[in-house]
Amino acid sequence: MAHVASTSIGRARVSERKESDGLITAVLLSLAILIASFIFYTWSRIEVVKIGYEIFNANSEMRRLDQENKELILEIATLKSPKRIERIAREELKLLPPKDEQIVILK
């Protein structure tokens, strides 16, 4: 009979160990999920901030390029000005307006 009592006590201890092992596994799994969630949240927030800076820098670059484009358009208009071209032709190249007999009309 003593043998039967010790066997049942041994079974009780084994079932207690199985329950505590299951509890430890569940706690560790929950902790791992919690840590993974925290790491993912932190990573996503860092990415949002990084992308925000990239957007800000891209917008700044776009404004700078727009301003440069406006300045270049103005410079083109200035360089194409007929008055400027005529002044360069007369003063720098010493050209004269064509005489009537030098003009050829194409039909």
Residue 99's alpha-carbon distances to 20, 86, 92, 95, 96, in angstroms, are: 112, 16, 20, 12, 9
The answer to whether position 7 is within a domain reads yes
Question: Does 57 score more than 70 pLDDT?
Answer: yes
Angle at 49 between CA 47 and CA 52, to 5 degrees: 110
12 has pLDDT over 70? no
How open is the CA angle 68-72-75, to the nearest 5 degrees?
Answer: 140
Please tell me which residue, 8 or 93, carries the higher pLDDT value: 93
Query: Based on the structure, what is the number of domains in the chain?
Result: 1
What pLDDT is attached to residue 81?
Answer: 95
Mean pLDDT of 41-54: 98
- Evaluate whether residue 38 is within a structural domain: yes
Q: Does residue 6 belong to any structural domain of this protein?
A: yes
pLDDT band at 2; cut points 50, 70, 90: very low
In this prediction, residue 19 carries a pLDDT of 73
Residue 104 lies in a domain: no
pTM over 0.95: no
Which domain, by its residues, includes 55? 2-99
Helix (H) or strand (E) holding 27: helix 2-79
Is residue 106 included in any domain, yes or no?
no
| pLDDT computed for residue 88 by the predictor | 95
